[in-house]
Amino acid sequence: MRLSGALQLVVLAWVATGGVALAADPPPIRIGEISSYSALPIGTRGYRQGWELARDEINGKGGVLGRKLEIISRDDAGKPDVAITAAAQLVDAERVDLLTGTILSHVGLAVADFAKQKQIFFMASQPLTDALIWEKGNRYTFRLRPSTYTQASILAKEAAKFPARRWATIAPNYEFGQAAVASFKRELMRLRPDVEFVSEQWPPLGKVDAGPIVQAMSAANPEAVFNATFGSDLAKLVREGTTRNAFANRAVVSLLAGEPEYLAPLKDEAPVGWLVTGYPPGEIKTPAHDAFLKAYVGRFKETPNIGALIGYINTIMLAKAIENAGSTKADDLIKATEQLKADTPVGNIAFRAIDHQSTMGVYIGKLAVRDGQGVMTDWRYVDGADFQPADTEVLAKLKN
């Protein structure tokens, strides 16, 4: 009797293993990932590369629980309804074990609500709104990046040292911008009861008309400005403000403006002297960050931005949570993540059980121009654990 070619191969393999049946590789751990790739391409390209690097490093060491990580990615186009459709496809059709990702706050809130309804674990990697973990938080949702409360509180502490009393604010008119302004105002007025806010400008996200915004701000004659615009909106605001000399002789405090992806388009137009939160990748000299930087530059031939750092750390935290849980079941992941601590390129990060917020910190410094490019100087890393609300305050928010 002649054996078919395929059957011959099976027999040969059986003989080569001494008659022991070949075991199939265990199925991968499937992670559903969603982000605004088409809406925010500058930041999210680095974010994707960050999680790809972490995934491949983890899989190169054998994966997690003896299983490889498989990340199935979807684009939400910056729209909550698209994100929900993507999440449903990932859960129902792709049968993912958990969800992660999102960057825009209103999109993150939509996916968090979906996770609650589906009772599936969700680690929000980048959205900043406080509502994600407080007023609209749920037991299935965790958040990695420092919240608007944390970042605004850190900036407010520095702003309180300025002699300025009259302040203006400029922020995109959606969840993140509204929360950022509210947090900054609340904390600055607590530290400096003598300050007053004389102007609030609320351009639509991604559609800032910088001329009227700068003109209206200047007309109020503030001594200082709090800004929360980012991306192309930030570039337009800076250029128009420079043309009109609107920021000269005014202190400016700007959330996110020190992040490489937002500084890159400005080049030598970066506003010197602004106090910002951001990320100075080439200047951080710690063994863990050096290893990340070397691996990232070696693979992608470019310096990482904040998105790349977040994508990398987010994947590390997910892998550690799965390892500690010993499974991918939502309840097991929740319990494990509430007690999770892990070493990362920015140091040790943990999650607060009370509100599922991580203790990841913030780089704060001033903007300067070096070699034709905006950079952060005089920077330092501030531990997020030092600027989070007390448990009593959190409980009050969770009850509302």
Instruction: Report pLDDT digits (tens) over 190-242.
Output: 999 999 999 999 999 889 899 999 999 999 999 999 999 998 999 999 999 99
Every domain range in the chain assigned CATH 3.40.50.2300: 29-146+285-360, 149-283+363-387
pLDDT band at 13 (very low <50, low <70, confident <90, very high): very low
Q: Which residue, 101, 53, 73, is CA-closest to 302?
A: 53
Return d(Cα 233, Cα 238) in angstroms, integer: 9
Which long-range contacts does 375-381 make (Cβ < 8 Å, 24+ apart)? 375/263, 375/270, 375/280, 376/258, 376/276, 376/278, 376/279, 376/280, 376/283, 379/258, 379/278, 379/280, 379/283, 381/284, 381/346, 381/347
At the fourth CATH level, which superfamily is domain 29-146+285-360? Response regulator (3.40.50.2300)
Residue pair 373/267 in contact (Cβ under 8 Å)? The answer is yes
Handedness of CA 276, 279, 282, 287 (dihedral sign): positive
| Whether the Cβ atoms of residue 362 and residue 151 lie closer than 8 Å to each other | yes
DSSP run (H or E) holding 227:
strand 224-227
pLDDT tens per residue, range 66-111: 999 999 999 999 999 999 999 999 999 999 999 999 999 999 999 9
How does residue 2 score in pLDDT terms, banded at 50, 70 and 90? very low
Class for the domain spanning 149-283+363-387: alpha beta
Separation of alpha carbons 374 and 174, rounded Å: 27
pLDDT band at 11 (very low <50, low <70, confident <90, very high): very low
What would the mean pLDDT of 163-178 be, rounded to a whole number?
A: 95
